[in-house]
Amino acid sequence: MTEGNEPLPAPADDHYHPSRAQRFVEDGYYEEYTEKPAAPPRQRFYKKKKYWIICSIITVILIVVIVLLVLFVAFPKIAQSVMNNAGVNVEAAQITFTPPNNLHASVALLKRDQPADGNSTFYMSMKSKMTNTGPFSADIKFDNPIEVQYKGATLGYINLPGTHVSGGSGTLDAVTQFRIKDQEKFASFAREMLAVPKFTWTLKGQAEISAMTRTAKVDLNKDLVLDGK
């Protein structure tokens, strides 16, 4: 005690005494008990704009590749398949020795045809419908002359005009000379034709089918059923 009975000052403390809250922070307890903010949800990949841009580019490339394959690789096979599966239904046919004039005015003889002589040539007019020609619009051009066979024997040759098909059907109307190859074989056929209600000719040759800016040469091997007697 000093004079006047005043208390002596407390001795200075050289050490720092942090508060309880400060000790929690320093000891790491604050981070443990403090709630952290939730992480934002990740955006799904198919909702990203970049994903759809990449998909669009890939789709365009695939479409271009498929179209090119169809046009340059598959088209000839498709054209041949169309020709093989197409049907030709003869609705009317006539044989004369003078040019027939009962067909549509747009059907005309080819310039190379000469007047029929009645022995080796005659005129044939035919109206027919083509069926099962596929879904595409196409132009068909025949490589004339077309060979006409009966039971495997060649009777002669005819010329067929070009035609157009679309929506699975078309027409094939022709006025042409029939040029007999072998008169004896044709005479034998004529006798059979007069004795049966129907007979079948087979047309053989080649044709060109043009569609979708492409042209393919195809083989023609098509049966025609005509009325006999």
Q: How many domains does the chain have?
A: 1
Residue 16 lies in a domain: no
The tally of CA atoms less than 13 A away on the side-chain side of residue 49 is: 0
Is 70 a member of any domain? yes
DSSP structure string for 117-171: -SSSEEEEEEEEEEE---SS-EEEEE-SSEEEEETTEEEEEE----EEEETTEEE
Q: Is residue 29 part of a domain?
A: no
pLDDT for res 104: 44
Is the Cβ–Cβ distance between 206 and 143 less than 8 Å? Answer: yes
Instruction: Give 69-101 pLDDT, tens digit per residue.
Output: 766 778 899 899 999 999 999 999 888 877 766
Q: Residue 100: give its domain's CATH number.
A: 2.60.40
Domain of residue 166 covers 66-227
* Tokens standing for residue 116: 């029929």
Q: What is the pLDDT of residues 88-143, one digit of tens each?
A: 999 998 888 777 665 443 345 555 556 666 678 888 889 999 999 988 899 999 99
Tell me what pLDDT residue 107 has: 44
In a domain, residue 132? The reply is: yes
> pLDDT per residue over 20-32, tens digit each?
555 544 555 445 4
